[in-house]
Amino acid sequence: MKRISFLFFFCAAFLFASLASGRIGGGDILFIPKNAKPVTFSHDFHVKDLGLACQKCHPVPYITAEKSKPVSMAEMAKGKSCGVCHDGKGAFFINKKDDCSRCHQ
Protein backbone atom coordinates (compact mmCIF):
# COMPACT_ATOMS: atom_id res chain seq x y z
CA MET A 1 0.00 0.00 0.00
CA LYS A 2 2.86 2.37 0.81
CA ARG A 3 4.40 1.64 -2.57
CA ILE A 4 1.16 2.55 -4.40
CA SER A 5 0.80 5.76 -2.38
CA PHE A 6 4.38 6.72 -3.14
CA LEU A 7 3.93 5.97 -6.83
CA PHE A 8 0.72 8.03 -6.98
CA PHE A 9 2.39 10.95 -5.16
CA PHE A 10 5.44 10.78 -7.45
CA CYS A 11 3.29 10.75 -10.61
CA ALA A 12 1.13 13.62 -9.36
CA ALA A 13 4.22 15.69 -8.45
CA PHE A 14 5.80 14.99 -11.86
CA LEU A 15 2.61 15.98 -13.69
CA PHE A 16 2.28 19.21 -11.67
CA ALA A 17 5.93 20.12 -12.28
CA SER A 18 5.54 19.47 -16.02
CA LEU A 19 2.47 21.67 -16.27
CA ALA A 20 4.06 24.45 -14.24
CA SER A 21 7.27 24.47 -16.27
CA GLY A 22 5.31 24.43 -19.52
CA ARG A 23 4.16 28.00 -18.88
CA ILE A 24 7.64 29.36 -18.33
CA GLY A 25 8.54 31.53 -21.25
CA GLY A 26 5.04 32.45 -22.36
CA GLY A 27 5.75 32.30 -26.09
CA ASP A 28 6.07 35.19 -28.51
CA ILE A 29 3.87 38.27 -28.22
CA LEU A 30 3.14 40.41 -31.28
CA PHE A 31 2.71 44.15 -30.75
CA ILE A 32 1.31 46.12 -33.67
CA PRO A 33 1.96 49.85 -33.22
CA LYS A 34 -0.11 52.39 -35.15
CA ASN A 35 2.70 54.13 -37.02
CA ALA A 36 5.56 51.64 -37.02
CA LYS A 37 6.47 48.11 -38.03
CA PRO A 38 5.29 45.31 -35.70
CA VAL A 39 7.37 44.13 -32.75
CA THR A 40 7.61 40.50 -31.71
CA PHE A 41 8.55 40.11 -28.06
CA SER A 42 10.31 36.79 -27.51
CA HIS A 43 9.87 35.27 -24.07
CA ASP A 44 12.36 32.55 -25.05
CA PHE A 45 15.07 35.12 -25.72
CA HIS A 46 14.44 37.15 -22.56
CA VAL A 47 13.78 34.24 -20.18
CA LYS A 48 15.80 31.33 -21.52
CA ASP A 49 18.66 33.05 -23.36
CA LEU A 50 19.17 36.04 -21.05
CA GLY A 51 18.09 34.18 -17.91
CA LEU A 52 15.64 36.84 -16.70
CA ALA A 53 13.15 35.74 -14.07
CA CYS A 54 9.44 36.16 -14.76
CA GLN A 55 9.28 38.51 -11.76
CA LYS A 56 11.58 40.95 -13.57
CA CYS A 57 8.60 42.02 -15.74
CA HIS A 58 5.55 40.55 -14.00
CA PRO A 59 3.45 42.00 -12.48
CA VAL A 60 5.30 45.32 -13.11
CA PRO A 61 5.59 46.71 -15.76
CA TYR A 62 3.46 43.99 -17.40
CA ILE A 63 0.50 42.15 -15.92
CA THR A 64 -0.33 40.14 -19.05
CA ALA A 65 -0.28 40.95 -22.76
CA GLU A 66 -4.06 41.26 -22.72
CA LYS A 67 -4.14 43.69 -19.78
CA SER A 68 -1.11 45.79 -20.75
CA LYS A 69 -1.80 49.08 -22.48
CA PRO A 70 0.16 50.22 -25.52
CA VAL A 71 2.68 52.98 -24.89
CA SER A 72 4.48 55.36 -27.20
CA MET A 73 8.21 55.44 -27.86
CA ALA A 74 8.35 58.72 -25.91
CA GLU A 75 6.78 57.00 -22.88
CA MET A 76 9.24 54.10 -23.20
CA ALA A 77 12.14 56.59 -23.32
CA LYS A 78 10.87 57.84 -19.94
CA GLY A 79 11.05 54.33 -18.46
CA LYS A 80 7.63 52.83 -19.15
CA SER A 81 7.03 49.41 -20.66
CA CYS A 82 10.14 48.12 -22.50
CA GLY A 83 11.96 51.29 -21.41
CA VAL A 84 12.21 49.93 -17.88
CA CYS A 85 15.17 47.79 -19.01
CA HIS A 86 15.94 49.28 -22.43
CA ASP A 87 17.43 52.46 -20.99
CA GLY A 88 20.98 52.16 -22.30
CA LYS A 89 22.14 50.71 -18.96
CA GLY A 90 20.26 47.42 -18.49
CA ALA A 91 19.86 46.86 -22.24
CA PHE A 92 20.21 48.89 -25.43
CA PHE A 93 18.38 52.23 -25.41
CA ILE A 94 15.05 51.98 -27.26
CA ASN A 95 15.19 55.55 -28.53
CA LYS A 96 18.42 55.25 -30.54
CA LYS A 97 17.47 55.55 -34.24
CA ASP A 98 20.09 53.03 -35.41
CA ASP A 99 18.55 50.33 -33.19
CA CYS A 100 14.94 50.51 -34.45
CA SER A 101 15.31 47.29 -36.45
CA ARG A 102 16.33 45.36 -33.32
CA CYS A 103 12.64 45.37 -32.32
CA HIS A 104 10.68 46.61 -35.35
CA GLN A 105 11.14 44.03 -38.11
In a domain, 6, yes or no: no
pLDDT tens digits for range 19-71: 444 456 689 999 988 889 999 999 999 999 999 999 999 998 888 877 888 88
In a domain, 11, yes or no: no
The predicted structure's pLDDT at residue 46: 94
In a domain, 14, yes or no: no
Contacts of 78 (CB under 8 A, 6+ apart): none
In a domain, 53, yes or no: yes
Model confidence at 6, pLDDT cuts 50, 70, 90, reads very low
Contacts of 38 (CB under 8 A, 6+ apart): 30, 31, 32, 104, 105
pLDDT tens digits for range 81-97: 999 999 999 999 998 88
Output the domain CATH number for residue 66. Answer: 3.90.10.10
Between 101 and 22, where is the model more confident? 101
Query: Is this prediction's pTM over 0.85?
Result: no
In a domain, 17, yes or no: no
In a domain, 44, yes or no: yes
Domain that holds residue 41: 25-102
In a domain, 97, yes or no: yes
